[in-house]
Amino acid sequence: MKDKIHPQLHDVNVHCACGNEFVTRSTKKELRVEVCAACHPFFTGKQKLMDTAGRVEKFNRKYAKKEVAVAAVEAAPEEVAVEATTEANQ
């Protein structure tokens, strides 16, 4: 590798907006971040499902109808078979 072309790495204190501080290495002297692993919702487990314009309810309503229809179709062959046997016996 060539000499004097690589940036110098420094031990740096990283300051988060939540107040968390940790040490890492960087070419900059100081880092300030808005979100870190201690306060980010994905890493803390506090992430919530954002329902935009009732999409989850719309999905549930749409597929709830299909489940009722499927149950009716599954029950229908039994009723048809019962009716066919009663008509054959008469």
pLDDT digits (tens, 9 = 90+) for 7-44: 999 999 999 888 889 999 999 988 998 888 788 766 66
Task: Give, as one character, the DSSP assignment of residue 60.
Answer: H
Across 1-90, the runs of DSSP E, i.e. the strands, are: 10-16, 21-26, 31-33
Q: What is the CATH number of domain 1-48?
A: 4.10.80.400
Strand partners, 10: 26
- pTM across the whole model: 0.42
> Would you list the domain boundaries of the chain?
1-48, 49-90
As a whole number of angstroms, the distance between CA 90 and CA 78 comes to 19
As a whole number of angstroms, the distance between CA 1 and CA 25 comes to 21
As a whole number of angstroms, the distance between CA 43 and CA 14 comes to 18
